[in-house]
């Protein structure tokens, strides 16, 4: 199948290469001429603009946009929409806010251009492992791009198969689903990323407790100098808390047991905030996900004014003094 890909960052380039590896034709565009040249070297056809990319495709044309959420993706979708015709398909495979998908789908429908949103998980490992995809859009548009999805998905692999109903959608165990209409794919991926925040925070807090077990504030006979790399590794083997996130943690600890290469100022890319917005709209409790997001905010400051005020109040009512580090 022929596909145009706009945005050749780590995931966009991985998507193009995985598709070409499976026999698809990729026409690629990026603001970086070097990124385009690298894909052309691997067998893609290059373009100097989105309009030029669209002109190289045969109808019904498919353009996959893989750019950061926000204005840059909005502009690319608008530009692609102007270059396409009725029956063509625009895919947004980034981490777009799902309400933007609903708006774009309505705008493009006036021209007959079909819009598909794909929440794409797999990161820099997707080229080798495959991409887990949550898809939103009209049924016919999703069916049209199924060969692309099948090539990008990880497949059943070595994961034990779940006993499912006979009429269950077979695509799910291949690594992709049609979640629903426009926006549904990115909504499911948004919640996926919110859960990821909570899982990562649970690991972080657990290992923090392990790391501090040798603290001089503890009785000497209750202090343990624990090997965190070994603990992470043994938990990978048959433990109920084993996961890919733990695999990555074990690899990081094996390389640098103190994680000295990192400051601990943890960024967030928006999906955690949007997840909590959705929880508020639904009045759905999500205390773990909220705490995980707020902890990321907290990681970016040393001490806040509010914390100084807390110390001042404790000193005022009880004569409590701050512990000196």
Q: Which residues are catalytic?
A: 189, 196
> What count of other Cβ atoms lies within 10 Å of the Cβ of residue 27?
23
Residues in Cβ contact with 141 at an 8 Å cutoff, skipping those fewer than 6 apart: 89, 114, 115, 116
Residues in Cβ contact with 306 at an 8 Å cutoff, skipping those fewer than 6 apart: none
Residues in Cβ contact with 56 at an 8 Å cutoff, skipping those fewer than 6 apart: 4, 27, 45, 47
The answer to whether 148 touches 1, Cβ cutoff 8 Å, is yes
The answer to whether 77 touches 104, Cβ cutoff 8 Å, is yes
Q: Which residues of 206-217 are buried (b: 16+ CB within 10 A; e: fewer)?
A: ebeeeeeeeeee
CA quadruple 33, 53, 121, 156: dihedral, nearest 10: -120
């Amino acid at each position: 199948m022929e596909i145009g890909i706009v945005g050749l960052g780590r995931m966009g380039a991985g998507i193009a290469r995985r598709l070409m590896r499976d026999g698809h034709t990729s026409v690629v565009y990026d603001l970086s001429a070097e990124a385009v040249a690298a894909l052309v070297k691997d067998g893609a056809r290059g373009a100097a603009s989105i309009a030029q990319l669209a002109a190289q495709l045969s109808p019904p044309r498919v353009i996959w946009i893989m750019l950061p959420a926000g204005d840059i993706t909005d502009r690319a979708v608008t530009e692609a929409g102007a270059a396409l015709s009725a029956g063509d398909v625009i895919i947004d495979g980034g981490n777009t806010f799902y309400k933007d998908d609903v708006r774009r789908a309505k705008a493009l429908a006036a021209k007959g251009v079909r819009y598909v949103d794909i929440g794409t998980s797999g990161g820099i490992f997707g080229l080798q492992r495959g991409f887990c995809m949550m898809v939103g859009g009209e049924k016919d548009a999703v069916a049209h791009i199924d060969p692309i999805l099948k090539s990008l998905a990880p497949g059943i692999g070595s994961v034990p198969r779940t006993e499912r109903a006979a009429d269950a959608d077979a695509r799910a165990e291949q690594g992709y689903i049609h979640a629903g209409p426009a926006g549904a794919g990115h909504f499911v991926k948004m919640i996926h990323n919110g859960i990821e925040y909570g899982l990562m925070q649970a690991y972080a807090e657990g290992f923090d407790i392990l790391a501090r077990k040798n603290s001089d504030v503890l009785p000497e006979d209750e202090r343990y100098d624990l090997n965190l790399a070994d603990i992470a590794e043994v938990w990978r083997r048959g433990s109920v808390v084993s996961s890919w996130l733990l695999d990555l943690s074990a690899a990081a600890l094996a390389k640098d047991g103190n994680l000295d290469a990192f400051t601990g100022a943890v960024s967030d890319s928006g999906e955690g905030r949007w997840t909590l917005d959705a929880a508020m709209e639904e009045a759905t409790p999500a205390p773990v996900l909220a705490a995980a997001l707020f902890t990321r905010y907290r990681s970016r400051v040393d001490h806040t004014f509010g914390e100084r005020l807390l110390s001042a109040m404790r000193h005022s009512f009880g004569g409590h003094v701050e512990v000196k580090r």
